[in-house]
Copies of this chain bind each other. A is one copy, B any other.
Amino acid sequence: MSGNSKNKENNTMEKIVSLCKRRGFVFPGSEIYGGLAGTYDFGHLGLALKNNIKQSWWKRFVDSRRDMYGIDAAILMNAKVWQASGHLANFADPLDGKKFNTMLKTEVGAGVEASISYLRPETAQGMFVNFKNIVDAFHPKLPFGLAQIGKAFRNEIAPRDFLFRQREFEQMEVEYFIRGEEWEKYFEYWRDEMLDWMREVGLNMTKVHELEVPEAERAHYSKRTIDFEFEYPFGRKELFGLAYRADFDLKNHKLEYLDEEAPTEVGVGAEVGEKIIPHVIEPTFGVDRAILALLLSVYTEDKKDGEVRVYLKFKPNIAPVICAVSPLLKNKPELVEYAFEKVYTPLKAEFGRVAWDDNGNIGKRYRRQDEIGTPLCIVVDFETLSDHAVTVRDRDTGVQERIKVTDLQNYIKRKI
């Protein structure tokens, strides 16, 4: 990368971090007390963005499927989980020549009943330890998956790059259980699913690259791992991952599955199937990295009327605010009343993510909504009072359409 383009890229990160704080997306954690490295707090718009991303993921990978079971396991787990999973022995980074375990430790209970526990460093184990519970409750047939969205913690030696490397972060993960011999088919299937979802939320796919992790760098049990990398301003680094983990996890936890669909041996009347250890395909998504990569994908500068304009080109289904409603003039009660009662209130009731914006002149309002990525700005003007239509302005093109107030809900639904 040339010096110039490197400066430009660093500049982009700075601009995004600054916009996130200024406009209420993301704040440094515990900021008024000097911060706590590796933690961030989400403000109103960042949280709306995060919720939209999580909901889009959950809808696609859980709610719309018949073979997926949601889990929400506790962050604190019995330390034996981490012994069995290998994290106690191996989850370490090198520090001054020694190995430094990056699990955060705490003591649970009091006095003689106190025991060491760890903040989970990944959501995966919360699903594996519930494998039997789910099988007993729902009797799923292979293949089936467990899915979880939740926080995880790693005591990173050097947290950095905004949301990229934090000590507290959130994961969206699937553990998909299959018969071992079918792993290649389902690996490809999940590869496609992951790519489809990335497109769906609006990541810039020209910046997404697949890295086939070479054998020497893979965990010993994995026959194949793909890192989906993203071109961040600070380099091409991991975004999401897809791993074939074979039967490593269920074996560690001494779990098995009665495969009733397996051919039974002739003459063994009591047998209703074969006990097997299912293999696992694991698609993992970082929520915070998804947000960072998305912000980098949608951040846009162009020139409008000789001025630099900044806007976030969120897809309408992901944008924190779907539309803003304004009266043309703030000091005209008839416009304010119409805009509030006939336009804002019903849209707010229907879509939730609707803003009221009557501050400053219309040009300023447009710039402000552009900067937080609101796809549509709706303005009630004097004509509205007679023609019952409003001006709807498109964020990306600046084009304005005249839409009947009675058609607004359907118009917006089509956009989402």
Contact = CB atoms under 8 A, between A and B. Distances in A.
Interface string A103-138: 011111111000001010000001001101110111
A50 B72 contact: yes
A214 interface: no
Q: Oligomeric state, in number of copies?
A: 2
Contact of A81 (B33, B48, B108, B151): B33
Given A31-B133, A80-B33, A73 B41 contact: yes
A143 interface: no
Given A70-B44, A108-B155, A130 B27 contact: yes
Which among A29, A35, A48, A157 has the highest number of chain B CB atoms within 10 Å?
A: A29
A64 B137 contact: no
Contact of A104 (B37, B50, B74, B106): B106
B108 A107 contact: no
Interface footprint category on A: 35 or more
A44 B75 contact: no
Contacts of A21: 133, 137
B110 A157 contact: yes
Interface stretch (A185-193, A232-240, A349-357): A349-357
A90 interface: no
A30 B155 contact: no
A32 interface: yes
A40 B117 CA distance: 15
Contacts of A31: 129-130, 133
Interface string A10-40: 0000000000011110010111111111111
